[in-house]
Structure 1
Amino acid sequence: MTPALWGGVLGAAAGGGVLVVAARVRTIRRPQLALRVLPYVRDLPQVGHTPELRVASTSPTSAAAGVFGPLLRSAADGVERVLGGATSVRRRLQRAGIDKSVHEFRVEQVLWGVVGFAAAAVLGVLRMFSSPGSGASSLLICLIAFVMGVLARDSYLTSQVRNRERRILAEFPTVAELLALAVAAGEGPVAALDRVVRRSGGELSADLGRVLAEIRTGEPVATAFDAMAASTGLPLVARFAQGIAVAVERGTPLADVLHAQAADVREAGRRELIETAARKEVFMMVPVVFLVLPITVLFAFWPGAIGLHLTTP
């Protein structure tokens, strides 16, 4: 196939894509019925099973799903059938604080795979100009790039969970001390929780804000904190929530429980810091052994070797 023919095929594909996107954008720009009716029915009571009116999302994933909806949904279903683990994905999404369903996450995985496939395809096309017989290997590389993109999104979700939990552990002692001070000042658990949530910001404060919202909708305090303990992936936060639930149920002094929880978290942080330093000690020896020590030995023995060479007859 000649370069001119390749250029014609790529130009036709790009033109068709632009036409499809333009048609979809023209459809999206039309005012939706929900947007026109929602301001008039927002405060009306919902009777029966009236479907909820939702405003269309403006995220890139939702826009891509709107343009290439059926194809992305079928690809996401295929990824779900191959990889499985919907329960684990749902759990990690909840721990990462991402308000998405498993299907939306699978769509994101497909998009990451498509990006990897497109990058590998561009490199493959450039490679075919120099060696025309490399079509099969280029296709295999594109498929591998698609799989790597799908797996990269899953790994990025795991890193998001890890980073969020690290931030929660960093702010946990301060939040626990603030709750203990508010309770010791005479406020109830709900009032203290409301004060701390309004005065602080962060990942743990967002979780406590959801607990406070559940309590205000009629959920018992102990049940709301038990649900928080079941949803979190951190044992320290789970013990904190369970301790508050038990203290509320049995009448245990809540301030003492919160102070003890904060002290436990600080002690755990110190132990983790010591363990990290012990693990990094080996890596700290690498520049000493491979850089400083050889130079020291060279400076120590090189003058003597030069002197022996000069005095040797």
Structure 2
Amino acid sequence: MTGDWGGRRALVTGASSGVGLEIARALAAEGAHVVLPVRNRDRGDAAVRSIRESVPDASLEVRALDLADLASVSALGEALRAEGAPLDLYVMNAGIILLGDRERHVTVDGHELHLQTNFLGHAALTRELMPLLKAGRARVAVQLSLAAARGRLDDLESERRYSAWRAYAGSKRAFGLWGVELARRSASEGWGLNVNLCHPGVAPDTGIAAGVRQQPKGAESGGRARLARRIGNTPAQAAQPALMALASDAAPGRFYVPGGRFGMSGAPRERALFTALQDESEARRMWEFAEGAVVRTG
């Protein structure tokens, strides 16, 4: 599912590999100028080379961004605002899951690493980019995961109990609720953004899915590992829900997912929000939580 993106300016986080790379490739193929903010410059340059193998005239630029460092987020926002070019398309796709690592990691800003990378860093980046997003009346895709349906919100910083899967799922649910509130606020306050949510299902050729598959039998993700060995889309197919989320002209706040069994694979379709994302008071709470964290440490 694509749109007419000729001449549009897009920003895709997590575009150096996997699903994000394929989202960026698809947008470039449709004529968008794509900004790839990456933590590792070498991987960003490799992504540019990969895209240009299939889209020789792709319009691309690599920028520095580490979502786990709010100073880096602020630096990118300041640089883009100074340039003044509106953003028309914005995909918050980047994410991590440290399966197999039993240690709780904390960022330079004092937050649990999954929480900041998957959620708070994106909230901070959106805050930084808001003038450009409003100027472009941007179409926004909030990339979640199947884990958002089961994530818990009672210990988001994983201070009482830690596992990589628990931290990941909680961060994705919190991010989804924040995305729902972003859509609501844009509609009610006239920001002009078209915000939709999505998830890619299972993409066995990506780094996250590979980590799931490597979990030993009986580990916290054993069942998911067995499913990931047999079910899933290619990264290019897994990119389609996000592209549909961008292209949709329906009311904001819709949810696009793979249409196959359990939402793990298949062609993209719209579905109802996970029950875990439907509580409006929780959505407001996650917005306020993010605002407090970003303002306090940013």
User: Which is higher, the Rg of structure 1 or of structure 2?
Assistant: 1
Structure with the greater relative contact order (CA < 8 A, sep ≥ 6): 1 or 2? Answer: 2
Which structure dedicates a bigger proportion of its chain to helix? 1
Structure with the higher strand share, 1 or 2: 2
Q: When the two structures are superposed, what TM-score results if normalisation uses the length of structure 2?
A: 0.19
Calculate the TM-score normalised by the size of structure 1: 0.18
